[in-house]
Structure 1
Amino acid sequence: MGDRREESNEQVPGKPAGVVQQQQAAAAQVRAARAQQQEPAVPTFHQKQSSAAAVAPAPPVTTDVPNWQGLKASVRERNALMFNNELMSDVHFLVGPPKAAKRIPAHKYVLATGSTVFYAMFFGGLAENKADIEIPDVEPQAFLAMLKYLYCDEIDLEPDTVLATLYSAKKYIVPHLAKACVTFLETSLSARNACVLLSQSRLFEEPELMQRCWQVIDAQAELALNSEGFTEIDYETLETVLGRESLNAKEIVIFDAAARWAEAECRRQNLQANANNKRRVLGRALYLIRVPAMSLEEYANGAAQSGILTLQETADIFLYYTARNKPVLDFPLVPRTGMKPERCHRFQSSAYRSNQWRYRGRCDSIQFAVDKRIFMAGFGLYGSSSGAADYTVKIEIKQSGKVLAENTVKFFSDGSSNTFPVWFKHPVQIDPDTFYTASAILDGAELSYFGQEGVSEITLGSVTFQFQCSSESTNGTGVQGGQIPELIFYA
């Protein structure tokens, strides 16, 4: 079930294609290599092939240039001149798949001073004296990125090759480069690639990156599960995702995502993507989906008609919804807890004096920033101060004028000074140290409560919010008072 065949040529950004089962075996070999200081053999990353020009050796420095050494003021500059250069090279690497390998020159001394693996390879007790060393499992461009760091002390990362570079840095135990790769991946992390990066972070044993991936997947679960990358994860990662208690997703979304993964897995295993084969490749992971936690309508119109469930399971689940004596099911019965939303309340009091808040299509807006990544789920708004009333509101999150999310929703105000939550369709990722604009345009009862005694900075747990007035606010909302009293978020 977990066996993964060769993938199609279509690539998921940030993910090196390859054979996942072989990658997992390779990870174990990398760990063994750390202990033995021997070079492991691992599978090829079939990323976009580097052009010949990208990996061609630099023009050699020759003695025809007088005192070329004296033109470079530092050891780093002189070493940089030797990067990818034939001059004085005493080893060559054939990097990449055998039929497309690139021959890259290097200098044993430089490599051995930067990597314990290279030291063992060239100067250890089992040192080999080959003129050409084959490295079929590493992307040439990634290998050059590692060499550039070892020669020049420069880190040059690209989205298409950063995972392959991380693999190369892990294989040859170059920890500072590996850390830079992880940092690069964290900054580019989003719901679109979180599942792929989770799979790779498990393979590369990067717990911090794994934790960051889980934060995104939990908070933006439906976006992550509906991403193309979710269908490319390995079986073990699939199990961890489907079994996750804190996913903020409807169970029917989780079921549909698992079905799409199964269809992709059938293609990878050269199987017809019918219901029986989908069930077969899902295996025990199917029973991590909390089918009875769906609404009856979601189940009847979705999972029950998928063909993935057996006829007996389909009937028993219907009985579970409707019968007094409920059958025993193999699926978990209790809904997932999801993530608990937190609320940042920015006013110390509210009021409804003669200068009550009015709307008439005007915009209430405030700017905010945080010091760590969060996910904005919605706002808490004040409602009517003249009895119960219905409101329609358009809410937005913007950054530098770009609309990141918007939604038009209705809410009922019971006439109290309570705040009433309104939600975006999906939580919005808010990056640290950047100001965002939160806006609301309400349509409903003219007179409402409003906040006062606002504060410009609030710390909730590990998150600090800063507020400042927004030029888009045309209804009087600002730091000191007005609407949008609460920001509802996941941290």
Structure 2
Amino acid sequence: MFNNELLSDVHFIVGINGVTKRIPAHKYVLAIGSSVFFAMFNGDLAENKDEIHIPDVEPKAFLALLRYLYCDEVCLEADTVLPTLYASKKYIVPYLAQACVEFLETSLSYKNACILLSQSCLFEDADLTHRCWEVIDAQTELSLCADGFTDVDIKTLKAIISRESLSVNELVVFDAADRWAEAECLRKDVEPSGINKREMLGDALFLIRIPTMLLQEFADGPAMSDLLTKEEIISIFVWYSATKKPELTYPTERRRGLTPHCCHRFQSTAYRSNQWRYRGRCDSIQFMADKRIFIAGYGLYGSSTGAANYKANIKLSHNGVVLSEETAGFFSDGCSKTFSVWFKNPVQCEPGLFYTASAILDGNELSYFGQEGLSEVVCDGITIQFQCSIDSTNGTGVQGGQIPELVFYH
């Protein structure tokens, strides 16, 4: 009987003018599936009209809601899931709403985290809001540089740029706010001048922690933009150099950022006179977490025969696809501690999937190595499993070798 005129006793005119759709339905089916529909048809304020107008729900979303009520089927698509979430909340269909949130979580990434945050706040969905903040906090620069960032509303913009736990250079926040203001001017069909962009930002501009930038960053960035007044630029320059600093309208304390977690997979560290050696070969290990994490880098062992400089090429991949790669140097002072090498941006790793961590080191051949490796480690509530990787050509495995630590956010 879904979307069928046969025996239908009510019709819905769904959507706004120009894109409306007339959808047949059956009051009994809707009433037993939704308390809102029950009240609509049987309550004190029951609708007695043959046609009911619903201008705030998209036709495809309303049909997805009806399909669930009639057939117990969840049919979601990327372009309709948000409107369907709205419809399921409006008509109090909790299972469908939860299915929408789960669908969104599986597709959540830095590319859509900001715009989904805006939508989750609108729908008052705490779980989705929390997941969006996880991505934005861990991958702040990527999230702020994504195309969708300029489409958020002013309330969401303020929430993001005022957040204490953002892990990002403040210049990135300033540039993102500038791009948003320009896009807002274009949406309102006004010239994107400095005055108009300031007007669009309003007091959101004063949430940016401009004085926490390096002097050179400020001079080449905000000071050269058209967002700040001459008086503000002079005051901030004076603030950088004066002993008695002037009062500023911008916050002067750095953001706290996130604290990285370190998963150590070995119970002991050792060295021998004839190993561990580096000759351009790859050390590699596979891992899987039970919750979403963001890999920021690896802890690596250094020289066991005195101070030495290393160049490390680190890589994170999944099913043979490289997700991130970085080459960086580090100095080993000859002790057995680990040395962290970081990716430019943390990499999102989904739960229940194996990823491959690899490292190729160039430096003093003899180094420390790990022993008594664990196949499962619980770190700050996250369970991480390890298994050997076929990419490892230098002896690293679960029981011993290199890559003793995964550094991550969650």
Give the TM-score taking structure 1 as reference length: 0.82
Aligned ranges 1:77-92 → 2 under 5 Å: 82-92=1-11
In structure 2, what is the Cα distance between the partners aligned to 1:202 and 1:121?
A: 27
CA distance in 2, matches of 1:375, 1:296: 31
1:321-360 residue pairs with structure 2 within 5 A? 321-360=240-279
Amino acid at match of 1:302: G
Displacement after TM superposition at 1:355 (Å): 2.6
Specify the SS of the correspondent of 1:93. Answer: strand
1:27-426 equivalences under 5 Å are 82-426=1-345
Q: Secondary structure at the match of 2:18?
A: helix
The code of the aligned residue for 1:272 comes to: E
Contact between 2:261 and 2:380, CA under 8 Å: does it hold in 1? no
Q: Deviations 1:104-144 (Å, cap 9, x if unpaired)?
A: 11111111111122122222222222222222221111110
Amino acid at match of 2:118: S
SS at match of 1:117: helix
| Aligned equivalents of 1:350, 1:87: Cα separation in 2 | 75
How much identity, in percent, do the aligned residues show? 65
Give the residue type in structure 2 aligned to 1:244.
Answer: R
**Unpaired stretches in structure 1, ≥5 consecutive residues:** 1-81
Q: Distance in 1 between matches of 2:256 and 2:132?
A: 19
Displacement of 1:325 in angstroms is 2.1
Q: Could you say which residue in structure 2 is the equivalent of 1:12?
A: none
Separation in 2, partners of 1:365, 1:128: 66
* Deviation by residue 1:435-459 (Cα, 9 ceiling, x = unmatched): 1100001111111111112111111
Contact 2:34 2:92 in 1 (8 A): yes
Contact 2:326-2:343 at 8 Å conserved across structures: yes
Paired amino acid for 1:430: C
How far off is 1:415 after superposition? 1.5
Aligned Cα root-mean-square deviation (Å): 1.0
Off by >2 Å, runs of 4+ in structure 1: none
Query: How many residues end up aligned between the 2 structures?
Result: 410
**What is the one-letter code of the residue matched to 2:5?**
E
Distance in 1 (alpha carbons) for counterparts of 2:306 and 2:183: 55
Deviations 1:263-317 (A, max 9, x none): 1111122211111111111111111111011111111111111121111111111
| Aligned-partner residue type, residue 213 of structure 2 | M
Distance in structure 1 (CA, Å) of the matches to 2:394 and 2:19: 64
Distance, in Å, in 2 between the alignment partners of 1:427 and 1:258 is 22
Give, in whole Å, the separation in 1 of the partners of 2:332 and 2:47. 78
What is the DSSP-based 3-state SS (H/G/I as helix, E as strand, rest coil) of the residue aligned with 1:98? coil
Q: CA deviation at 1:98?
A: 2.2
With over 3 angstroms needed to count, the CA separation of the structure-2 counterparts of 1:453 and 1:355, relative to structure 1, is: farther
- State the secondary structure of the residue aligned to 1:427: strand
Specify the code of the residue in structure 2 equivalent to 1:281.
Answer: M
How many Å separate the matches in 1 of 2:403 and 2:111? Answer: 29
SS of 2:407's partner is strand
Secondary structure of residue in 2 paired with 1:99: coil
What SS is found at the alignment partner of 1:387? Answer: coil
1:254 and 1:152 map into 2 onto residues whose CA distance is 47
CA contact (8 A) 2:295 2:346 kept: yes
Q: Distance in 2 between matches of 1:352 and 1:322?
A: 50
For structure 2, list consecutive stretches of 5 or more residues without a partner in the other structure.
none
Shift of 1:188: 1.2
- Of residues 342, 355, 358, the one that matches 1:436 is 355
2:381 to 454, 462, 485: 462
Matched residue SS, 1:467:
strand
Q: What's the CA shift for 1:354? A: 1.7
2-side partners of 1:102 and 1:282: how far apart? 38
- Counterpart of 1:481 in structure 2 is 400
Q: In 1, are the aligned partners of 2:271 and 2:367 still within 8 Å (CA)? A: yes
* Higher share of residues assigned strand: 2
Residue matched to 1:37: none
Most deviating of 264-273 and 472-481 = 264-273
**Structure 2 Cα separation of the partners of residues 100 and 331 of structure 1:** 46
Task: State the distance in 2 between where 1:284 and 1:249 align.
Answer: 21
Q: Quick one: which amino acid aligns to residue 392 of structure 1?
A: K
Q: Report deviation, 1:238.
A: 0.8
